[in-house]
Amino acid sequence: MTDNVLEVKNLTMHYMTRKGPVSAVNNVNFSVARGESLGLVGESGCGKTSIALSLLKLLPDNADIKQGQILINSKDIVPLNYAEICKLRWKQISMVFQAAMNALNPVYTVEDQILEAMQEHLPHLSEAEMDRRVDELFKLVGLDPKFKDQYPHQYSGGMRQRAVIAMALSCEPDIIVADEPTTALDVIVQDALLKRIRKIQEKLNMAMIYISHDIAVIAEVSDRMGVMYAGNLIEMASTEAIFHHPIHPYTMGLMSAFPSIVGDKTELTTLPGEPPDLLNPPTGCRYHPRCPYATAICSQEMPEYREHEAQHFAACWHPRGEV
């Protein structure tokens, strides 16, 4: 595939803490094509946000990219310095965070903040063009342009999140990374926003990486999805394949542990145990202490992340519980 706007190769990242290194992202490989929506799902502390931050190099000081490449439009961003990264942000890759209020500056109007990003990255545009573009962006995310000269605190939670999305879209990035953008919202607001995000992504033919802990949300917005567990990407395939034919026992457990309001009320399964401590992760497959199918090899060797079925990748010694 040559149309990959983003490729992540063998990415390994540690956080240095006073108790030792925390292995937050471990040998992760994936790619996203133009116009594709990729979902990343996992529990808290599984490394999904760390991956998002790595893509923009927004990592905290104690983070250390041990190895791997992050290719954005075939250019490796890992060795780039701060100034070079700043040129890439907004224009090639931009991000929408969970806490919209923190992403907006409370002392400027929403319009000013969007204009600022554009002036920095699209200096060739005239003032009138920029104004017109702000109006377009507002309409695109479903906000009335008459609210554009208001301050963030005058917006409701859903409106703020839309404004942040408008800002992220302002410089027409190739890739947008959305980290739990709807998690703090009520279902009705969330529903409207999810539909809007999906529509914009298809209309602008952007690549999107949507990160969430909620598999139902991922099911709504992504074509392909990856499942993360304890810093590893353990499975990746089309959303349908993951939901209907999961390979990894963790994915299988996750699917049957998730309640739904439609369909028959099936028994929810419980995954035994707790997620591991990443200060000293289990040897071999990191899921083996909780896995019902684990055998001796699982605790000794890390399974290879490979293509089990066409376009269906997984890292497991016993796919679907086979011995």
Partner 1 sequence: MTMPTNGLTVSTATRIPLWKIRLKLAWRATKTSWATFAESPIGLIGLGVIIFFGLFALAHPILMHTVWDSSTYDPQMGYDMEIAFHPANPSARHLLGTDPLGRDILSQLMYSTRYEFVLGILSAVVTVVIATTIGAAAAYYGGLIDAVLMRLADLVIMVPFLPILIVLSSLTEVGMFELALLIGVLSGFGGNTIVIKSQALSVKVKPFIEAARIAGGSDFHIIFTHLIPNLLPIALLYMMFVVTSAIFSEAVLSYFGLTTIRMSWGIMINTAQTQGYLLRFDTWYLLIPASLAITLLCAAFYLVGRALDEVVNPRLRSR
Partner 2 sequence: MENQDILVNIQDLSKLFPVGGGIFKRSDVFVHAVSGFNLQIKRGESVGLVGESGCGKSTTGKLLTRLINPTEGKIEIASAQGVIDIASLRGKKLKTFRRNVQMIFQDPYESMNPRLTIYDTVAEPLNVQGIGTIVERETRVSELLETVGLTPATSFLFRYPHELSGGQRQRVAIARALIVSPLFVVADEPTSMLDVSVRTGVMHLMQDLATNLNVTYLYITHDLAVARYMCDRIAVMYLGKLVELAETEELLHHALHPYTQALLSAVPVPDPTHSRKAVQIKGGISKPVNPKPRCRFYDRCLLADNSCRDSPHPELEDKGNNHFVACHKV
Instruction: Give me the residues paired with residue 177 across strands.
Output: 95, 209
36, exposed or middle or buried, with CB in 10 Å at 0-12, 13-18, 19+?
buried
Q: What is d(CA 35, CA 174) in angstroms, rounded to the nearest whole number?
A: 9
Q: What is the x/- site pattern for partner 2, positions 120-159, by CB under 8 A?
A: ------------------------------------x-x-
Structure tokens at 242: 């993951």
The residue assigned the tokens 């490989």 is 29
CB atoms within 10 A of CB 68: 18
Query: What does 44 interact with, of partner 1, partner 2, none (CB < 5 to 8 A by kind)?
Result: partner 2
Query: What does 213 interact with, of partner 1, partner 2, none (CB < 5 to 8 A by kind)?
Result: partner 2
Query: What does 15 interact with, of partner 1, partner 2, none (CB < 5 to 8 A by kind)?
Result: partner 1
Report the nearest approach of partner 2 to the CB of residue 15 (Å).
Answer: 18
Query: Binding residue for partner 2 (CB under 8 A) from 105, 154, 260, 280?
Result: 260
Report the nearest approach of partner 2 to the CB of residue 166 (Å).
Answer: 18
Query: What does 17 interact with, of partner 1, partner 2, none (CB < 5 to 8 A by kind)?
Result: partner 1
Q: What is d(CA 18, CA 13) in angstroms, rounded to the nearest whole number?
A: 16
Query: What does 7 interact with, of partner 2, partner 1, none (CB < 5 to 8 A by kind)?
Result: none
Q: How many residues bind partner 2 (CB under 8 A)?
A: 41
CB atoms within 10 A of CB 313: 19
Q: What is d(CA 242, CA 314) in angstroms, rounded to the nearest whole number?
A: 10
Report the nearest approach of partner 1 to the CB of residue 272 (Å).
Answer: 8
Report the nearest approach of partner 1 to the CB of residue 283 (Å).
Answer: 18
Q: What is d(CA 80, CA 297) in angstroms, rounded to the nearest whole number?
A: 39
DSSP 89: B
Q: What is the x/- site pattern for partner 2, positions 154-193, by CB under 8 A?
A: --x-x---------------------------xxxxxxx-
Report the nearest approach of partner 2 to the CB of residue 289 (Å).
Answer: 12
Phi, psi dihedrals of residue 209, rounded to the nearest 5°: -115, 115
**Residues of this chain that bind partner 1 (CB under 8 A):** 15-18, 60, 62, 273-274
The angle subtended at Cα 263 by Cα 259 and Cα 267, nearest 5°, is: 45
Q: What is the x/- site pattern for partner 2, positions 214-243, by CB under 8 A?
A: xxxx-xx------------------xx--x
Q: Is 297 in the site for partner 2 (CB under 8 A)?
A: no
Helix (H, G, I), strand (E, B) or coil at 97: coil
**CB closer to partner 2 out of 44 and 81:** 44
Report the nearest approach of partner 1 to the CB of residue 43 (Å).
Answer: 17
Sign of CA dihedral 59, 67, 44, 200: positive
Q: Is 262 in the site for partner 2 (CB under 8 A)?
A: yes
Q: What is d(CA 82, CA 84) in angstroms, rounded to the nearest whole number?
A: 5
Residues in the chain: 323
Query: What does 170 interact with, of partner 1, partner 2, none (CB < 5 to 8 A by kind)?
Result: none
Reduce the secondary structure of 169-189 to three states and give it as a string.
Answer: HCCCCCEEEEECCCCCCCHHH
The residue assigned the tokens 């490729």 is 7
Structure tokens at 232: 């590893």
Query: What does 292 interact with, of partner 2, partner 1, none (CB < 5 to 8 A by kind)?
Result: none
Q: Footprint of partner 2 on this chain (CB under 8 A)?
A: 43-44, 156, 158, 186-192, 194, 213-217, 219-220, 239-240, 243-244, 253-255, 257-263, 265, 268-271, 274-275, 290
